[in-house]
Structure 1
Amino acid sequence: MTLQTTNRIKMPLGFWDSIRQLGLTAQDVARKARLPLTIITEPVVTTIQYFAIWQAYSELIDDTAQGIIKLATGFETAHYPPAVLAAYHARDYRDALKRMTRYKQLCPPESLHIIEKSEDCTIELDWLNTEQPGPPILTGITLAFLLELGRKGTGQSLTAKFVEFPHFTGDVQTLEAYFECPIQIGAKCSKLTLHREDLDRPFVSYNAELLEILTPVLDQSLNAQQYNRSITHMVKWIMKRSLSGGRPDIHTIASELGMSERTLQRRLTEEGSNFKHLLTQVRHEQAREYLSDPSLDIKEVAFLIGYEDQNSFYRAFRAWEGDTPSKWRTEHSEETR
């Protein structure tokens, strides 16, 4: 099986209605994106088309910050797709964010990862199965909507603690006023950091009966979609995301994929692989990538790929490359000059 299905993205039905409310037409966006007008009535697009639509919207709206805020706040709940409805009608903010993270997999290319630590809850945005990052306006709307979800669900004016963007060319002060927190531009990845205590706030929009209907249907769709993806690719992607300072175990990854360890092992075997081999492969690939960054010392590289003992990393790397990490780095840095 291949990952071609993940290149099929379903546009939210309310997207075109929302941009009309902002004074734009669907035809204008399609033309600006250099896409056929049939794209308006065809709900499924490719990743390239999806990014082109958002970039066109960004250019037509003129003010990127206002474009983010207006669309994030103006998207009516009546137009929410089922996956977002399940989050909006969740029990509390934590439950809503977990549902958003889980069901976002039904509509790539954005992927969300939640990290709760100390007094913070950080949500990282990544891009699934594409080397090209999404347009800054798409990143901004995704992060703004996560905060807006909490505000609408709780009925309270929640604030963020910190927002990070790799790239952004709009009015940062306007965006800071919306998030009510500092915004860093030039970060390695896109992040929204919330007050962890806010996650316990109950949702006034909680609807247990609706969730009983939506959850099984969404879970069934997610399981079917995951089965049609390359499980090897998915496991490697999760491993790379969770390597730092530890060794990803099959139980944790199987749980994140929503399947049993036995099912995961069987799926990997069907694709001619196994968990141990993939972990070694991921560590090797990440080691080469990190060593190519001169700002990282070797001890830090060892930690980032899950080795607490630097000597163990040296032995593993010598087995992979037939050389020490420091010599490999020196030789390859000379090759790129």
Structure 2
Amino acid sequence: MSLVEKFMIDGQYEKLLVANQLDPKKVLQIAKLPRDTFAHQHLKLTEQEYFALINAIETLANDPLFATKLVASDDIETFSPPIFAAYCSKNGYQFLKRLAQYKKLIGPVIYELTSQQDVVTVTLTTFSAKEILPPFFVKSEFAFMMHLISSATNQKIKPVKITATFQDDSVALIEYYGVHFEFASSNTITFKLTDLLFPFTTENTSMLEYLEPELKKKLAELAVDESYAKRVRTALVELLPRGKAAIGAIAQSLGVSKRTLQRKLKSENTSFQQQLTATREMLAKNYLLNDTLTPDDIAFLLAYQETNSFLRAFNAWTGMSAQKYRQEKS
């Protein structure tokens, strides 16, 4: 299947910005989007445009807790049918499962749910290896989950663990989320299963019966990337920090032979080397946002044998040195 080229963004975005004292025109100007973007009832943005919009909001907000305030806006649960459908669920666990199922309808992000013993973890990933999830977006998604689960259960639900591809140790943020943001190669939030089993006071089976057929129809129409390229990138994110960058190791993790993997990737007009390069570039840009990581550390995390190999590669990817990239993003 091919990648989703554009994502449907709800037209209420403009109202949400105004309600939080942000000028929509300035947001669009910074994001370099057309002036009439918000004039459409349903906005269609590419992945790059979507994250440009998010970054513009963060630039104007200038508030470490703005992401949490944005998702706490009145009636945020009615912002779009996929969100409202999830809000009508039986409990927090079903809520997260529905978000994982429908989130791709309203934004270029994938929710991956994993359950282990008494906890449930949600991992946020992008559709392509080229795009990095902006820190503001990650914080708002985590706050969004917490806010709606707490609101629907009348309980103060907080995670037991958060990992992120960036660092933010602000006191206000830690007080809000209840935990530190642990630096890692992926963006995850973990909840106690018992917290997710509190019943939702907003459960509405009749509304779900009305909404879900149309949502499932839209899902069926989406060309979601379930390709081998996506599977390779996911495996690389996990295995590169362990020093495994060879196609044989990735093929083994996916349960296929090296030859089969090469054939599958070729049928998708890509190669293992292209996916390895794209994943390393994405991770390198994330790691450079962390001032405590040295070039040696980053080279190790990307499974390079020598630091100079990483530095040369980064220059080839971006046209600038790793040091200059870090300075521009700091």
1:210 aligns with 2:207: yes
Report the 3-state secondary structure (helix = DSSP H, G, I; strand = E; otherwise coil) of the residue aligned with 2:188.
strand
Does 1:95 pair with 2:106? no
Q: Distance in 2 between matches of 1:48 and 1:284?
A: 23
SS at match of 2:128: coil
The TM-score with structure 2 as length reference comes to 0.71
Amino acid at match of 1:151: S
The letter of the residue matching 1:28 is K
Match of 1:52 in 2: 52
Distance 1:159 1:275, change over 3 A: same
Cα distance per residue 1:234-292 (max 9 Å; x no partner): x5424654797986579xxxxxxxxxxxxxxxxxxxxxx988954999996689989xx
The 2-side partners of 1:51 and 1:283 are apart by: 26
Aligned counterpart, 1:106? 105
Shift, 1:183, TM fit: 2.1
**1:73 equivalenced with 2:65 (yes/no):** no
Write the mapping of 1:165-204 to structure 2, written as runs, cut at 5 A: 165-168=164-167, 172-184=170-182, 186-204=183-201
Unaligned runs of 5+ in 2: 240-251, 281-297, 313-330
Q: Which runs of 4+ in 1 moved over 4 A?
A: 242-250, 273-277, 279-290, 293-296, 332-337
- Structure 2 Cα separation of the partners of residues 47 and 60 of structure 1: 20
Structure 1 residues 48 and 295: CA distance shift in structure 2, 3 A:
closer
Mapping of 1:129-168 within 5 angstroms?
A: 129-168=128-167
Corresponding residue number in structure 1 for 2:14: 16
1-structure distance, mates of 2:56, 2:177: 24
Deviation at 1:35, TM superposition (A): 2.4
Contact map agreement 1:109 1:130 (CA 8 A) in 2: no
What does the per-residue CA deviation read over 1:143-177, in whole Å, with 9 as the maximum and x for residues that have no partner?
Answer: 111111211221211111112221245x6221111
- Equivalence map 1:115-126=2 (5 Å): 115-126=114-125
- Uncovered stretches (5+) of structure 1, i.e. residues with no partner: 251-272, 302-328
For 2:5, the equivalent position in structure 1 comes to 7
Give the secondary-structure state (helix, strand or coil) at the position aligned to 2:160: strand
Tell me by how many angstroms 1:201 deviates: 1.5
Query: Over residues 85-127 of structure 1, what are the superposed CA-to-partner deviations in whole Å (9 max), with x where a residue is unaligned?
Result: 1110011111110000011122331111111112221111111
Rate the CA distance shift 1:18–1:197 in 2: closer, same or farther, 3 A: same
Task: Give me the whole-angstrom Cα distance separating, in 2, the residues matched to 1:239 and 1:91.
Answer: 35
Instruction: Report deviation, 1:9.
Output: 2.0
* Counterparts of residues 306-321 of structure 1 (less than 5 Å): none
Deviation per residue, 1:62-102 (Å, 9 max, x gap): 11x22111101115246421111111001111111000001
C-alpha separation in 2, matches of 1:102 and 1:18: 24
State the identity %.
21
Matched to 2:222, the amino acid is: Q
RMSD, matched Cα: 3.5
Map of 1:237 onto structure 2 = 230
Checking the alignment, whether the CA contact within 8 Å between 1:14 and 1:79 is kept in structure 2 is no
What does the per-residue CA deviation read over 1:206-255, in whole Å, with 9 as the maximum and x for residues that have no partner? Answer: 000010111111111101213xx565x2x5424654797986579xxxxx
CA distance in 1, matches of 2:200, 2:75: 17
Query: Within 2, Cα distance between the matches of 1:85 and 1:154?
Result: 15
Give, in whole Å, the separation in 2 of the partners of 1:45 and 1:287: 27
Normalising by structure 1, report the TM-score. 0.69
Which of the pair has more CA radius of gyration?
A: 1
Q: Secondary structure at the match of 2:10?
A: coil
The 1:241/1:46 distance shift into structure 2, 3 A limit, reads closer
Where 2:123 maps in the other structure, the secondary structure is strand
